[in-house]
């Protein structure tokens, strides 16, 4: 009882502080720009954790912020009926290394993913990215289009970061000096995760306890909270608007899937992305939240399967 009262008191204090400091979120402006990453090394000591199921052309799954390859648990087996499905944990998340460095931007993550692709000799590759992982998928695809244009066949983006935008409240909290650290270290992991998932899901009744437990356990791993705080401060690079000019040159077939009710990355971002990617198709879903692959996998799977199965990848998909 005393512990619960103490926890509630801490929560009220920090949330009250946030109301007064909501304008104080600070993005890390020292994050290297895209120009520093254009020619990445092809060999890394850091190895991303990954799993592989099925046979056929590879489909690489890239999860969002605060998640892990676990977020794809409902779509892996269905896709593996026809494809080799590879799910990775990004640096700092899941089972991947979490070094205490300051290199957690989407550009750094994309560099690691690009090297993972080359080291594993993946060809005829399809990449699927969600949210923060969608931004990583975009940067990875641009890497490949420049250095290895024949490796990637298609790209699927689900509620992806792509342009400068207002940050959702919980991201602002984590990006706020002192307050972000207080929140992530003082409040129980399960409380943090459940409240985050309430923003991610449209229907809170569909949030499974095993998902709360899994992500809370991930957050308890050594250096996981450091990696989370560093990632959130580098989530939107200072040169993101300039970097987005590369999208017009990305000609691979791209499927963009978005929730109309997304509270994290608004539909306007998806519509803008569709306008700027020359070979794209936009699907808008209704009555589902930011992570459709977790909340309503049966809603998104047919679109994934149909797009991957199409043989007309050289046909313009603009609609």
Q: What is the pLDDT of residues 195-227, one digit of tens each?
A: 999 999 999 999 999 999 999 999 999 999 999
Mean pLDDT of 173-201: 92
Residue 130 in any domain: the answer is: yes
pLDDT tops 70 at residue 44: no
Element (H, E) at 52: strand 50-53
What's the whole-model pTM score?
A: 0.90
Give domain status of residue 218, yes or no. no
Could you give the strand order of the β-sheet that contains 125-130, starting from the edge strand earlier in sequence? 50-53, 84-88, 58-62, 125-130, 152-158, 254-259, 280-285
Q: Kindly state whether residue 86 falls inside one of the protein's structural domains.
A: yes
Helix (H), strand (E), coil (C) string for 155-170: EEEECCCCCCCCCCHH
| The pLDDT of residue 144 is above 90 | yes
256 within domain boundaries: yes
Closest alpha carbon to 109 in 133, 145, 126: 133
Q: Based on the structure, what is the number of domains in the chain?
A: 1
CATH code, 287: 3.40.50.1820
User: Within a domain: residue 120?
Assistant: yes
CA 33 to chain centre: 19
Q: What is each CA distance from 189 to 20, 109, 193, 209, 317, in whole angstroms?
A: 24, 24, 6, 13, 43
Q: What is the pLDDT of residues 258-299, one digit of tens each?
A: 999 999 999 999 999 999 999 999 999 999 999 999 999 999
In a domain, 258, yes or no: yes
Residue 139 lies in a domain: yes
Q: Is residue 63, in this structure, part of any structural domain at all?
A: yes
| Residue in the structure block whose two tokens are 């409902």 | 74
Domain range for residue 83?
49-166+234-309
């Amino acid at each position: 009882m005393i512990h619960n009262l103490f926890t509630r008191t801490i929560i009220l204090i920090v949330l009250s502080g946030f109301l007064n400091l909501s304008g104080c979120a600070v993005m890390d402006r020292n994050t290297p720009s895209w120009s520093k990453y254009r020619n990445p090394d092809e060999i890394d000591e850091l190895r991303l954790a990954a799993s592989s199921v099925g046979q056929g052309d590879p489909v690489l799954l890239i999860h969002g912020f605060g998640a892990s390859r676990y977020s794809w648990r409902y779509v892996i087996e269905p896709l593996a009926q026809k494809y080799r499905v590879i799910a990775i944990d990004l640096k700092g998340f899941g089972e991947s290394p979490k070094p205490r460095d300051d290199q957690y931007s989407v550009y750094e993550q994309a560099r690691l993913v690009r090297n993972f692709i080359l080291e594993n000799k993946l060809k005829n590759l399809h990449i699927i990215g969600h949210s923060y992982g969608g931004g990583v998928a975009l940067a990875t695809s641009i890497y490949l289009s420049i250095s290895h244009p024949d490796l990637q066949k298609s790209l699927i983006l689900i509620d992806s970061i792509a342009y400068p935008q207002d940050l959702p409240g919980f991201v602002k909290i984590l990006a706020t000096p002192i307050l972000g650290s207080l929140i992530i270290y003082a409040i129980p992991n399960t409380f943090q995760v459940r409240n985050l998932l309430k923003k991610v899901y449209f229907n809170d009744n569909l949030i499974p306890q095993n998902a709360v437990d899994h992500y809370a356990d991930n957050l308890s791993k050594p250096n996981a909270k450091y990696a989370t705080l560093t990632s959130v401060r580098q989530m939107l690079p200072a040169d993101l608007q300039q970097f987005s000019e590369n999208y017009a040159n990305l000609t691979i077939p791209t499927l963009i899937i978005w929730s109309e009710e997304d509270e994290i990355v608004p539909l306007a971002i998806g519509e803008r992305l569709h306008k700027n990617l020359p070979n794209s198709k936009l699907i808008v879903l209704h009555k589902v939240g930011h992570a459709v692959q977790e909340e309503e996998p049966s809603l998104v799977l047919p679109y994934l399967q149909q797009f991957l199965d199409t043989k007309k990848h050289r046909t313009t998909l603009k609609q």
